[in-house]
Chain A
């Protein structure tokens, strides 16, 4: 048998191959997209189920919440710094007791102990995770980035409501904040560092 016949035999399958390859490549592109689609899907899934302790965005109270005077829920506050961020960060009180449905305000204190301007972003989390859906913030320093000058101290309030629908078995919640150095600033400072090094070399 010779090459000639072999090649005609292979040619016979070529239109089918082309169609199949096109379909399979489409599948590849779709799966690459699916990998990216997992990102919003993950957020939606966490939001709907309240898993992961992610709290929602700012809520605006347009109707008077029903205050459940018969219950008291303890809310414990945690404050931590990511990496070795040169700030001091702590709540003014370690915990309070609130009636579900009644707004409460707590102050956090942050101080920049470094010698440069630093912008931070606080990321909140509620434990147990399933309680996150019942924890609503009307005002929070985590909604915007916080910039502190060297040595500057700042009192930052957070106002929240524990929903009166909170399941009976949950009577203690933990609200934790972690401050991260703002990613934007990180890049700016490393870029300016690189620039200054570059200039040093020139000199």
Chain B
């Protein structure tokens, strides 16, 4: 036994070849795989969005059939939510959590490997349905990423079953990832690091992991009910057998609303790491940040029906969900206040991560405000299912969550690769991205307020100009991301050596490690004062 262990003596021993990745139990390798997976899916989902925008460049039908258009919107949504934002955050958690809490690796490395490798399987299933659709073998899922019954049960295409099993796999993957995060944070912290000394990114992921464990099983239950409704004669969502299609929406949004916070809480954590570094000041209001995150997580469970105001709810229900939704603005406001106060009188510098962080604060707040407009019941009857909703959730998910991921990559990539990225190209990427995303999404507010419905391939003539502006923005935005890809590849392959601190004002255990970070992170636990 001893002899075997002795062989593993060298400092940075790692397996080589394909086996290094297939059988990896290393948090950094798995984190990299998650991030690359998300990056690939970002381009896949983005390409679908570009076809959608190209079709919407003019009124009338030009490029795709209406049914295929529906498949595009469905898969774009599913891929971006489950294939890009969530895996990217799990990838960041894998890379950063052990380094930030002073642990050598994640607590459950084998489960970590499994939870990653389920994802390519899940998305092969989902994308197979699109490939079959293109080859003329029957439609891909075409009921929108919210898969409302009976569109997905009675009227769902055969490929709906691919979708159902794909969602099952994604759910298992997310739940295992979440269990791993919780076990790592609860059992692997360095001596002296009590809960209220954890970096905010660790805190937000801790709470996110609990949200995942609470709601992913509910999603799994919903798709299982769909499956049995479709094939085994149950009637959960079928009125003919005593079920209720509206109940589907309740179950879906009971998952769906916490899900949108799963996609934004880690972003809050990232911004709370970056802003203090480049302001050269500690984070303003650390404990209020923790409590705000926890209250947002709690509130996320009691607001779900604000997605369903037009289903014919009684006034009492509408009022309850309207007021509880408005309440979320309070802890979110605390966070925005704290970020701005951290910058106040700081000695700010504007490297790419900070630029993305500031853009996040500004644009996410705008997305939050349109959310407040949508939660007002009488107004929502006008906005419901229009492009105003599309504008709202793209502001919080693209200029919110996706910007935070880009900020995080620029912020930590010198630590990962040991090289500084190309600052000039990074800035170019930032400016192109931030301008084009506003050209893309801002006009959607106007056409939405004017009444253009979402998920429709054709539109009335008066919406043409704003749609054309949005399409131009979409193509600039899409192709700008190739610069991001180039910057990342260039940084992986070489560049100016990064110091262990990387940034002048950087604090935290991950910046005590050399750059690039060693294969096993903190092999002796650091002492936290």
Cβ-based interface call for A59 (8 A): no
Q: C-beta contact mask, B169-203 vs A, less than 8 Å → 1, else 0?
A: 00000010011001100111000000000000000
Interface pairs A-B: 4 shortest CB-CB: A35-B221, A180-B240, A1-B523, A32-B217
Interchain CB contact under 8 A, A181 and B240: yes
Interchain CB contact under 8 A, A35 and B240: no
Q: Majority SS of interface residues in chain B?
A: helix
Q: C-beta contact mask, B223-241 vs A, less than 8 Å → 1, else 0?
A: 0010000000101101111
Choice from A4, A29, A52 contacting B246 with Cβ under 8 Å? A52
Q: In chain A between 53 and 110, which residues have their CB closer than 8 angstroms to a CB of chain B?
A: 82
Interchain CB contact under 8 A, A2 and B9: yes
Binding site for B on A (CB under 8 A): 1-7, 9-10, 13, 16-17, 20-21, 24-25, 27-29, 31-32, 34-36, 38-39, 42, 49, 51-52, 82, 121, 123, 129-130, 178, 180-184, 187
Contact-residue size bin, chain B (C-beta under 8 Å from the other chain): 35 or more
Interchain CB contact under 8 A, A9 and B250: no
Cβ-based interface call for B108 (8 A): yes
Q: Which residues of B contact A49 (CB under 8 A)?
A: 314
* Known contacts A28-B175, A42-B247; A17 and B108 CB within 8 A of each other: yes
The chain A residue sitting closest to B220, CB to CB, is: A32
Q: Which residues of B contact A121 (CB under 8 A)?
A: 240-241
* Known contacts A9-B104, A38-B254, A182-B240; A28 and B221 CB within 8 A of each other: no
Interchain CB contact under 8 A, B217 and A29: yes
Interchain CB contact under 8 A, B240 and A24: no
- Give 26 CB contacts A-B under 8 Å: A3-B5, A4-B5, A5-B523, A6-B104, A17-B183, A20-B183, A20-B187, A21-B183, A27-B213, A28-B179, A31-B217, A32-B221, A35-B217, A35-B220, A35-B221, A38-B250, A38-B251, A39-B236, A42-B247, A49-B314, A51-B317, A123-B239, A123-B240, A178-B239, A184-B233, A187-B233
Interchain CB contact under 8 A, B5 and A31: no
Q: Which residues of A contact B183 (CB under 8 A)?
A: 17, 20-21, 24
A16 vs B221: C-alpha distance when bound (angstroms): 29
Interchain CB contact under 8 A, B314 and A51: yes
Choice from B104, B220, B235 contacting A10 with Cβ under 8 Å? B104
Interchain CB contact under 8 A, A17 and B187: yes
Q: Which residues of A contact B9 (CB under 8 A)?
A: 2-4
Q: In chain B between 283 and 324, which residues have their CB closer than 8 angstroms to a CB of chain A?
A: 312-314, 317
A198 vs B291: C-alpha distance when bound (angstroms): 63
The chain A residue sitting closest to B234, CB to CB, is: A183
Cβ-based interface call for B345 (8 A): no
The chain A residue sitting closest to B5, CB to CB, is: A4
Cβ-based interface call for B244 (8 A): yes
A178 vs B238: C-alpha distance when bound (angstroms): 13
Choice from A2, A31, A52, A129 contacting B215 with Cβ under 8 Å? A31
* Known contacts A3-B8, A32-B220; A25 and B179 CB within 8 A of each other: yes
Q: Which residues of A contact B6 (CB under 8 A)?
A: 4
